[in-house]
Amino acid sequence: MNKKMLGFTTFLVMLAVASTAFAQDGHEAEWAARGWGAMAAGLGLGLAALGGALGQGRAAAAALDGIARNPNASDKLFQPMIIGLALIESLVIYSLIISFLLTLWVRSAM
């Protein structure tokens, strides 16, 4: 069953890609490239936001768990937690910048 699904998926992917490969006019390929570039930018940004949100949630939960176990350690846990959250958020912002650059690159290539 697994081999049949792999073959069917491969067939569908090849069917989707072949339409842009055999295009007669340059305009269809241009629009397809723009669509794929926009899809890549959106997917990359969505995955980065998902990963950042999960990382921030786990970091905050671990810090709150540590504070709940030892309330006197809240001063020692707060600053590293804030630095960690800032670093996680910076990775998401880098992803946003890369998606903007990818979108601009696709538009300039046309």
Task: Give the number of domains in the chain.
Answer: 1
| CB distance 52 to 92 below 8 Å | yes
Q: Is the pTM of the predicted complex or chain greater than 0.85?
A: no
pLDDT tens by residue, 58-71: 999 999 899 899 98
- Residue pointed to by tokens 């339409």: 19
Domain span holding position 40:
26-109
Does residue 17 belong to any structural domain of this protein?
Answer: no
Look at residue 82 and tell me if it is in a domain. Answer: yes
Nearest to 55 by CA among 21, 7, 30, 88: 88
Cα Rg of the chain (Å, integer): 22
**What was the pLDDT predicted at 15?**
67
Whether 94 is in a domain gets the answer: yes
**How much is the average pLDDT of 39-43?**
80
Residue 5 maps to a domain: no
**Pairwise CA distance, residues 84 & 99, whole Å:** 23
Mean pLDDT of the chain: 80
Residue 51 placed within a domain: yes
pLDDT of residue 58: 92
Inform me whether the pLDDT recorded for 30 exceeds 70: no
In this structure, what CATH number is given to the domain that contains residue 92?
A: 1.20.20.10
The residue-averaged pLDDT of 20-41 equals: 66
The reply to whether 30 falls in a domain is yes
**Alpha-carbon distance 103 to 110, whole Å?**
11
Specify the pLDDT at position 19.
63
Answer whether residue 9 is part of any domain.
no
Is there a domain that residue 3 lies in?
A: no
